[in-house]
Amino acid sequence: MQLTPYLNFDGDCAEAFAFYAKLFNGTIVYQGTFGEIPPTADMPPIPESARQRIMHVHLQMGDQSLFGSDAMPGADTACGGYQAPQGLWVSIRAADAAEGQRLFDALAQGGQVVMPFAKTFWSPGFGMTRDRFGTPWMVNVTPAE
């Protein structure tokens, strides 16, 4: 079994995933917009304001994946409208402090640092930040054995 985080955005999913692909040295293997959904008889029309928004994106990084999409503009949060992430963090395990610092600094750029990246009692490097897209991240360095 593999768990895959699925991130939601309010119109900037494509920009966020282009950034994540570069940062994590990954490849976007699929990206489709709401406007590309084939119409069916029972499907309501896609609002013009949503046609270029991302319906689904899949970023592959080695054997790890990250999924995402934009919310439908004007939709109620119970029906797929955007709501800022709450009660969760996407955790990254870095191999060493230098890699952890690089990831943290990139994610923190233009965002909000919650806990600066620093050595802790459990790790040579740990930090918490919300990136400029609103996604909460924890960067944790695996201690050397």
Question: Within a 13 Å sphere around the CA of 25, how many CA atoms are in the beta-carbon half?
Answer: 5
Could you report the per-residue pLDDT of 19-45, keeping only the tens digit for each? 999 999 999 999 999 999 888 888 777
Domains of the chain, first to last: 1-72 (3.30.720.100), 85-145 (3.30.720.110)
Could you report the per-residue pLDDT of 79-130, keeping only the tens digit for each? 666 777 788 999 999 999 999 999 999 999 999 999 999 999 999 999 999 9
**pLDDT over 90 (residue 1):** no
**How far apart are the C-alpha atoms of 31 and 102, rounded to whole Å?**
27
